[in-house]
Amino acid sequence: MQRRVLWVAILASFVAFLDGAIVNVALPAMARELGGGITTQQWVVDAYLLALGSLILIAGSLSDTFGRVRILRAGLLIFGAASLACAVAPTGLLLILARCVQGSGAALLVPSSLALITSTFSGPAQAKAIGSWTAWTGTAFLAGPLLGGLLVDFASWRYIFAINVLPIAATLLLLRGLVLPVAASKNALPMNVLPKNAPPKNDAGAAAGSPGRVDVPGALLASVGLAGTVFALVEQDRLGWGNPAVVVPFVVGLAALAVFLWWENRSSAPMMPLALFRIRNFGVGNMATTFIYAGASLGGLMMVLFLQEVAGLPAALAGLASMPTAVILLLLSGPFGTLAGKYGPRLFMAVGPIVAGSGYLLMATASHPFNFWLQILPGLLVFSVGMSMTVAPLTAAILGAVPTRQSGIGSAINNAVSRVAGLIAVALAGVMLGGILDFGSFRRIVVITACMFMGGGIVSALGISNKPAAGGVH
Examine the pLDDT at 207 and tell me if it is beyond 90.
Answer: no
Q: Which residues pair with 207 in a beta bridge?
A: 201
Beta-strand (E) ranges in 199-341?
none
Instruction: Report the C-alpha gap between 228 and 403 in whole angstroms.
Output: 33
- List Cβ neighbours of 237 (8 Å cut-off, separation of 6 or more): 39, 430, 431, 435
Instruction: Report the C-alpha gap between 269 and 334 in whole angstroms.
Output: 36
Query: Which pLDDT score is estimated for 460?
Result: 97
Q: How many CA atoms lie within 13 A of 394 on its CB side?
A: 32
Provide the angle, in degrees to the nearest 10, between the axes of the packed helices 68-88 and 2-34: 20
Query: Which pLDDT score is estimated for 469?
Result: 55
Nearest partner of 144 among 373, 316, 12, judged by Cα? 316
Provide the angle, in degrees to the nearest 10, between the axes of the packed helices 123-154 and 323-343: 170
Q: How many CA atoms lie within 13 A of 350 on its CB side?
A: 12
What are the tens digits of pLDDT across the range 152-173? 999 999 999 999 988 899 989 9
Examine the pLDDT at 191 and tell me if it is beyond 60.
Answer: no
Averaged confidence pLDDT in the chain: 84
What are the tens digits of pLDDT across the range 417-465? 888 898 889 888 888 887 788 999 999 999 999 999 999 999 999 999 9
Query: Which pLDDT score is estimated for 193?
Result: 37
What are the tens digits of pLDDT across the range 376-413? 999 999 999 999 999 889 988 998 888 877 776 787 78
Higher pLDDT, 58 or 151: 151
Residue 207 phi/psi, 5-degree rounding, is -70, 130
Q: Which residues pair with 201 in a beta bridge?
A: 207
- C-alpha 149: how far from its chain's center? 21
Instruction: Report the C-alpha gap between 163 and 253 in whole angstroms.
Output: 35
Instruction: Report the C-alpha gap between 127 and 131 in whole angstroms.
Output: 6
Mean pLDDT of 178-206: 41
Angle (CA) 68-2-186 rounded to 5° is 70
Most confident by average pLDDT, 21-30, 88-97, 108-117, 338-347: 88-97
pTM for this structure?
0.78
Examine the pLDDT at 187 and tell me if it is beyond 60.
Answer: no
Mean pLDDT of 10-36: 86
Instruction: Report the C-alpha gap between 40 and 245 in whole angstroms.
Output: 17
Instruction: Report the C-alpha gap between 364 and 443 in whole angstroms.
Output: 5
What are the tens digits of pLDDT across the range 348-375? 999 999 999 999 999 999 999 999 999 9
Examine the pLDDT at 83 and tell me if it is beyond 70.
Answer: yes
Instruction: Report the C-alpha gap between 412 and 419 in whole angstroms.
Output: 10
Q: Distances from the Cα of 202 to the Cαs of 180, 242, 332, in angstroms?
A: 8, 54, 36
Q: Distances from the Cα of 159 to the Cαs of 22, 80, 92, 148, 153, in angstroms?
A: 11, 13, 16, 8, 11
Instruction: Report the C-alpha gap between 96 and 100 in whole angstroms.
Output: 6
